[in-house]
Amino acid sequence: MIGQLRELQRRRAELVERSAALRATLLEEAAPLLQKAATADRVVTALRKHPVVSAVAVGAVALAGARSLLPWLTRALTLFALLKRI
């Protein structure tokens, strides 16, 4: 009985160590994505703080009629909607 308990404790320690290593690897690999998300969050926060400036910028783009910007705006709105859900 004591032998089984020690084996379980040893196995638990191995799993905890492995989990910590996996977490560290995941954070390391996700760092670039987290930096991009932080930048996007700052942009969204700035847009929310200054809705008039945002409206003027959108109006300027609409008046310019830049069709090449339409796909980028679509992507930006999609990204905004995704980030809003997170």
| Angstrom distance (rounded) from CA 83 to CA 86 | 5
- 64 compared with 52, residue with greater pLDDT: 52
CA-only gyration radius of the chain, Å: 24
pLDDT digits (tens, 9 = 90+) for 20-46: 999 999 989 988 888 888 888 888 888
- Overall average pLDDT of the 72-80 stretch: 80
From residue 5, how far is each of 1, 59, 71, 72 by CA, in Å?
6, 69, 61, 59
The set of residues, in sequence order, having a beta carbon less than 8 Å from that of 66 and lying 6+ positions away, is none
